[in-house]
Every structure is written in C-alpha cells, then in structure tokens.
Chain A
Amino acid sequence: MTAVTQVYVVDDEEAIRDAFTFLLRSRGYTVRTFASAREFLDAYRDDWQGWLFSDVQMPVMTGIELVRELRGRNTLLSIVLMTAHENVASLRESLSEQLVVLEKPFSAGELRGILVGGES
C-alpha cells in the first residue's frame, strides 16, 4: 500500500481547520479543509482517497449524516469523526460499522497513532 498523504478536514471551527493544516503540512501531508459538510460534498469526487477528519456537531448537516452519505457512495476515504461532546461511547454505538472517533481536545500523539496505523 502506498503512503496516504492526502487529508481532508471538515469542521465549522476555523481554528481547528487552521491548526490541522499547520501540523499536518509540516509532516508532509496535503491538507484540504472545508467549513461544512455541504461544502465538502460539493467538491467531493468518488475517486478521492486518504483521510477524512470530520466534526460531528455541525449546523445543517452533521458529521454522522456526512458519513452516511459517503458510505452510500462507497467512498474510498478512511473516516475519522471528531467530537467535543462527552457521549463518545454512545456515538460509537449508534454508528453500525466500525469508525474511529476522536474526542476533542485530542493530542497530537492520538492523531499520529491514527495516521501511522492507517499507513501500515
């Protein structure tokens, strides 16, 4: 498997998008950010590969709805959901398939673990 270097970030928080860009770009990833799920879907193409980090609680379309939509389209992306809410366990339960959920604020170590694990 070739090294995955493309990362998409969907979050309505500008600081999160910005910080992701700073951190991952310095580590050799290509980062593309979106302020909403709708904005992401407008740009999305079915042949996109790499990582998608999406926030859960967003207005209009939530991260969970985005996941459902992408799964319906048999996406190739590896999806990680991020939440600042406490109920990570119930969130994991409510999603039928296995899905990585990061609880904000997560550490760079947790993030690195996911990215490195996905590459091996």
Chain B
Amino acid sequence: MRILIAEDELISRKMLQSMLTEWGYQVVVAADGSEAWRVLQEPDAPRIALLDWTMPEMDGVEICRRLRERQTPTPTFVILISARTATADIVTGLESGAHEYITKPFDAAELRARLRVAQTVTELQESVAMHSQVLLAMKEQVALIDEHGMVMFTNHAFDAMFGFAPGQQIGRPIVLFDELSSAEHAKRLAEIISKVEQSGVWSSEICHSRADGSSFWTEAQVSRVLVSGKVSYVVVQQDITQRRLAEEQTASLREQLAHGSRLTTLGHMAAGLAHEINQPLAALRLYATAVEDMVATLDVPDLLDCVKRIDQQSLRAAEIMRRMRNFANLGSNKREEIEINRLIQEVLAILEHEFKRGRVRVDVRLAEGSPCIRCDAIQIQQVLVNLIRNAVEAMNETEFDERVLTIEASVDNERVSVRISDAGCGIDPDKMDNLFKPFRSSKASGMGIGLSICRTIVESHGGSISVEPNAPRGTTFRFAIPLVEPARTA
C-alpha cells in the first residue's frame, strides 16, 4: 500500500520514510504542503497521507480542508502529525478533515497501529465504492426503502426510468404503482411488506405510465435486508416491456391459430357433411323425377305438383349445404404473399414449450433467399403446427438424446418445400395409404382429422403433401406449395 509522507523537516522525513518502508509500505515523499497537494491530486494518489501540520506554502490543516471539499467516495485517509498537544488544537485538526491526530514526538508502535486502522478503513471504502459503482451501473432499477416506504437509496437506472434527477427521490415515499392515490399506495405497500415478512420475498409485474401517456412494464421484487440494524427493503425492478410484447404477440398468434383451426375444422366437417347429405339428396331427386315420369300420363295434377315440390325442396336442401360449406371456407380465406421462413419461425416460437416438455432438440434449416408463397398464413401455420406436434408426439418413446426434430425448407422445382422429419415410432405401412383421409386416426385419442385438414389446406393452395418412412426410424412429412416471385420495388 502507498503512503504519502509530507514533512518539511529533513530528519523527521527520513526517519518516517525508513520506518514505513521497513513496515512494508511504499512511500511517496513531499517536502512541503504544495508538493503534497500536487501529489494528492494525481489520479493514482496514495490513499493514506501522513501530513505535518506546520509546513511552508500550505500547511497540513489546509490540505485537510481542501481534501474534504472534493467529496469522493474514496477520500484520502489523513493522519495529521503535530507538536501541538492542546485539546483545542487536536479538535481543530480533526474538524478540518483529518481522520487521525498524532502528537510529536510519537511512538513508533502507536503510529504503526494507527496506520493499520487507516489501511482497514481505506480498504473498506474501496470495497464500498466498488459495490456502489456496480449497483449504480446495473440496468435493473434498484431502490432501498425503510419500513415506512421512504426511499434511502436509488441507483441511476431507477432515477432514469422514472425520470428523476439522481438521488431526487431520497427521503420521499417510493412510488411503485403510479395509478394509486398516496393513501391507497401506502396501504398496498403495507400489504407487500407484510407478504415479504411472511415469505421473505414479494414479486409482481407492474404496469407504469409515463407522462406522455405511453406505458411500460416492470417486474418488481421486494426483499428484506438489515441496514444499520434496521429492517429495510430492497426493491429491484426490471423493464420487461419487450418480453411482455413478445409474449402478447405469441399469445395472439396462438389464439388466431386456434380460431383458424376451429374454422378449418368446421369447414372440413361442413364439406364432409355436405358430401354425406348430397348422396341421399341426389337419390331423392332421381326418385322424384322417376315418379314425375310415371304419373305424367295419369290425370292427377296435384300428385305431379307434389312430386315437383319434392324435387324443389331437395334442391333447396342442397343449396343450404353449399352455402354452409362456402361460408366455412371463406371465413379464413385471406391470401397474402409471405416468407415461408417467417411462418416457420413463428410456429417454432409458439411450440417452444412443447419442445421443452417433450425434450426434443429442433434442427431448423431455413430456406435460402427468403422464398415467398401466396397463402393464408394461419392455415399454413396450422399445417406446420399439426405436422410438428405429430412429430413431437411420435418421439414420446424415443431415447432423450435421439429426440431430434428436423425442419427444413427449400426451393425445388418452382415450389417451396417443407420437410418435417422425426426420429419417432414410425407409421404402420398398412396405414400409410389412408393417412390423409378423414376419420382414420392411428392415435388412441385422435379424431383422425388433423392430417386430412393438412391435405385439404395444402391442396387448396395448389400444393401437395406426402409421407415416407425414415431410415433407420421415424417418419418424414413433406409438403410443397408453388413459389411466388416476391414483388419487386422499382
């Protein structure tokens, strides 16, 4: 450790220098007050100074006063040395800013002991300064409050986030919920503090509004600490606005997908129902016509009329089926040009938690050159979700380290092709033929509608879907949709 010795008397200076050197300190010497002051202003000035009170140019007490004005977190530890032994002098010396006062002639053992204290104090100051710098530099907003909610400390991030000048909030009640009145806020804070006392910590997500009307979200955590023997609370807040936005987008996407899925299922069921009902209706119309033919030669106009009405009503029923089918199809029929890579990435975000739960590693190879397809994004994402979920499910029995899902997009022959490959249980060869037909599920709990919907969607986009077994295990589904040249801007 470095120590400054400022002493104008040569013999005393040399004596001090040899003693301190012997004790293991690095010594810097100054022969007068102005030289000492110059040394102390250097960036890496010694942290401990032994200053003689009486020196030419600038005395030790003056240096103490100047040092005190600097207000640094790591002030120089000053030991004032003087032949003045009167109590009034000692008080003057210490009040000028000196930390210790030693009278001449001094005892070497005492000086050594006092230097150890000085060393301890300066090391402590360094450590405190380091911690507080870390705290101040953190991007999380940190505040310390007392048990009444009065602010004792804030870091830069806290002040910046709420638009306060540094330290402006100290001594004021903390504001966590800006929409509450001060009485309500005090009540809420008391509840939080009692929660912290019970379970050690309280945390919550909080919405704040800025003066300009915009809002932001933080995640706040309150925990209990003891400061100078008093119960205090540390409030740490983190800006989670971006995370919440991303979460909301994912949730809304998932909602759209679920809605799209219901619509497509409805459309698919309507189409299936229409097919089933059109069969008897077709027979009904033919029968009616046959009866019409038969009674035409007889003179029973009412009967003929009745039969014609049977035919008309059959036609009407068919028309209702057609409208229902068209409605369900049109409901989600918005085609736009969109990058296949984007669709895949959004779906992967939605399914993230399912990969984690299924311990599945996902190997994604996006298409080069950002190819686009013209499609109903929700419907194509539904195909992806269906195929990917099936793949994850198929690997339920696979060893953890072999659970790899490969998703690969590429352009092939004017078509954008997506391959979804699993290392799962595979599909019974007998079932491959009927795989895409409705109501043919191979799963115990399945309705057997997922893959047939995938096919309906892919085909309605002018594409095709196929399946093949993988070697040595698993299944690969592949669908392809015509590529569109992205619109070029002039």
Which residues of A come within 8 Å of B, CB atoms? 13, 15-16, 18-20, 22-23, 26-27, 57, 82, 84-86, 104-108, 111
**Could you give 29 example pairs across A and B, Cβ below 8 Å?**
A13-B280, A13-B282, A13-B283, A15-B279, A15-B280, A16-B283, A18-B283, A19-B286, A19-B287, A19-B290, A20-B286, A22-B286, A22-B287, A23-B287, A23-B289, A26-B290, A84-B276, A84-B279, A86-B271, A86-B274, A86-B322, A104-B278, A105-B278, A105-B282, A106-B285, A107-B285, A107-B311, A108-B288, A111-B289
What chain A residues lie within 8 Å of B293 (beta carbons)?
Answer: 23, 26-27
Let me know if B444 is at the binding interface, CB within 8 A: no
Interchain CB contact under 8 A, B286 and A16: yes
Interchain CB contact under 8 A, B275 and A84: yes
Let me know if B314 is at the binding interface, CB within 8 A: yes
Quick one: which of B285, B287, B325 has the most chain A CB within 10 A?
A: B285
- From residue 305 to 361 of chain B, which have CB atoms closer than 8 A to chain A? 311, 314-315, 318, 322, 325
Q: How far is the CA of A48 from the CA of B195 in the complex (A)?
A: 90
Interface size counted on chain B using CB atoms at 8 A: 26
Query: Distance in Å from the Cβ of A104 to the closest Cβ of chain B?
Result: 4
Let me know if B294 is at the binding interface, CB within 8 A: yes
Q: How far is the CA of A13 from the CA of B276 in the complex (A)?
A: 10
What chain B residues lie within 8 Å of A82 (beta carbons)?
Answer: 282
Which residues of B come within 8 Å of A, CB atoms? 271, 274-276, 278-290, 292-294, 311, 314-315, 318, 322, 325
Taking CB as reference atom, which chain A residue is nearest B284? Answer: A105
Query: Distance in Å from the Cβ of B290 to the closest Cβ of chain A?
Result: 4
Question: Other CB < 8 Å A-B pairs besides A27-B293, A108-B289, 17 of them?
Answer: A13-B279, A13-B280, A13-B282, A15-B280, A16-B279, A16-B282, A16-B286, A18-B283, A22-B290, A23-B287, A84-B276, A86-B271, A104-B279, A106-B285, A107-B289, A108-B286, A111-B289
What chain A residues lie within 8 Å of B285 (beta carbons)?
Answer: 105-108
Query: Distance in Å from the Cβ of A79 to the closest Cβ of chain B?
Result: 18
Q: How far is the CA of A107 from the CA of B285 in the complex (A)?
A: 6
What chain B residues lie within 8 Å of A27 (beta carbons)?
Answer: 293
Taking CB as reference atom, which chain A residue is nearest B292? Answer: A108
Q: How far is the CA of A23 from the CA of B281 in the complex (A)?
A: 15
Taking CB as reference atom, which chain A residue is nearest B275? Answer: A84
Quick one: which of B275, B279, B281, B285 has the most chain A CB within 10 A?
A: B279
Query: Distance in Å from the Cβ of B273 to the closest Cβ of chain A?
Result: 11
Q: How far is the CA of A82 from the CA of B281 in the complex (A)?
A: 13
Query: Distance in Å from the Cβ of B34 to the closest Cβ of chain A?
Result: 99
Interchain CB contact under 8 A, B287 and A105: no
What chain B residues lie within 8 Å of A57 (beta carbons)?
Answer: 275
Query: Distance in Å from the Cβ of B428 to the closest Cβ of chain A?
Result: 19
Interchain CB contact under 8 A, A105 and B281: yes
Interchain CB contact under 8 A, B283 and A23: no
Query: Distance in Å from the Cβ of B305 to the closest Cβ of chain A?
Result: 16
What chain A residues lie within 8 Å of B292 (beta carbons)?
Answer: 108
Query: Distance in Å from the Cβ of B464 to the closest Cβ of chain A?
Result: 12
Query: Distance in Å from the Cβ of B468 to the closest Cβ of chain A?
Result: 22
Interchain CB contact under 8 A, A23 and B279: no
Q: How far is the CA of A107 from the CA of B279 in the complex (A)?
A: 13
Q: How far is the CA of A82 from the CA of B275 in the complex (A)?
A: 12
Query: Distance in Å from the Cβ of A44 to the closest Cβ of chain B?
Result: 24
Report the 5 A-B pairs with minimum CB-CB distance, sorted nearest first. Answer: A108-B289, A19-B286, A15-B283, A84-B278, A105-B282
What chain A residues lie within 8 Å of B271 (beta carbons)?
Answer: 85-86
Q: How far is the CA of A107 from the CA of B288 in the complex (A)?
A: 10
Q: How far is the CA of A84 from the CA of B278 in the complex (A)?
A: 6
Q: How far is the CA of A90 from the CA of B322 in the complex (A)?
A: 17
Q: Given contacts A15-B280, A19-B283, A105-B282, are A86 and B325 in contact (CB under 8 A)?
A: yes
Q: How far is the CA of A20 from the CA of B279 in the complex (A)?
A: 13
Interchain CB contact under 8 A, A23 and B286: yes
Query: Distance in Å from the Cβ of B345 to the closest Cβ of chain A?
Result: 31
Taking CB as reference atom, which chain B residue is nearest A15? Answer: B283
Q: How far is the CA of A85 from the CA of B273 in the complex (A)?
A: 10
Interchain CB contact under 8 A, A104 and B282: yes
Taking CB as reference atom, which chain A residue is nearest B322? Answer: A86
Query: Distance in Å from the Cβ of B472 to the closest Cβ of chain A?
Result: 32
Taking CB as reference atom, which chain B residue is nearest A108? Answer: B289
Query: Distance in Å from the Cβ of B62 to the closest Cβ of chain A?
Result: 99
Residue in A15, A16, A26, A105 whose beta carbon sits within 8 Å of that of B314 in the complex: A105
Query: Distance in Å from the Cβ of A101 to the closest Cβ of chain B?
Result: 14
Query: Distance in Å from the Cβ of B245 to the closest Cβ of chain A?
Result: 41
What chain B residues lie within 8 Å of A111 (beta carbons)?
Answer: 286, 289
What chain B residues lie within 8 Å of A85 (beta carbons)?
Answer: 271, 274-275
Q: How far is the CA of A23 from the CA of B278 in the complex (A)?
A: 18
Q: How far is the CA of A105 from the CA of B275 in the complex (A)?
A: 10
Taking CB as reference atom, which chain B residue is nearest A13? Answer: B279
Taking CB as reference atom, which chain B residue is nearest A106? Answer: B282
Quick one: which of A27, A82, A84 has the most chain B CB within 10 A?
A: A84
Interchain CB contact under 8 A, B275 and A107: no
Query: Distance in Å from the Cβ of B277 to the closest Cβ of chain A?
Result: 8
Query: Distance in Å from the Cβ of A111 to the closest Cβ of chain B?
Result: 8
